Amino acid sequence: MLKVKEEKRFLTCGCCGNSYSGVIPKENGIQSYDNGVGMCPACGGDPKAKSYKKKIGWGACAFYEARFDIVRDALSKESKAKFEGLSYQKKVFVIQRMLAKGIIKW
């Protein structure tokens, strides 16, 4: 199979504005949020990172953490305690399921 050489270049993160060395996504096209400049690993996530938060990136963490509070405030005392006991990754999963089911909005 022919391997296409990906060209690394200096890009500007569409989220934080910092410069980083990366590859512009070609196969999937350029996503609407990035204005053709992409997201740095800190904001957009680094698949090679060991910690879950670094894997999903700052942008996703900010998105989910904002919804943690909304969900927590709407729960009963019992459910609130259960939600608080979940790991960060499981809380993100709960938010993802609620978004997919339309229980909370994007």
Tell me how many residues contact Zn ion (CB under 5 A): 5
Candidate residues 11, 13, 56, 92; the one interacting with Zn ion per rule CB under 5 A: 13
Using CB atoms within 10 A of its CB, is residue 40 exposed (0-12), middle (13-18) or buried (19+)?
Answer: buried
Kindly state whether residue 11 participates in binding Zn ion, applying the rule CB under 5 A.
Answer: no
Residue 49 in 3-state DSSP? coil
Q: Which amino acid is at 93?
A: F
Given the complex with Zn ion, which of 43 and 92 has the nearer CB atom?
A: 43
Residue 58 phi/psi, 5-degree rounding, is -60, -45
Contact window for Zn ion (CB under 5 A) among 21-29, 40-48, 61-69, 82-90: 40-48
Kindly state whether residue 15 participates in binding Zn ion, applying the rule CB under 5 A.
Answer: yes
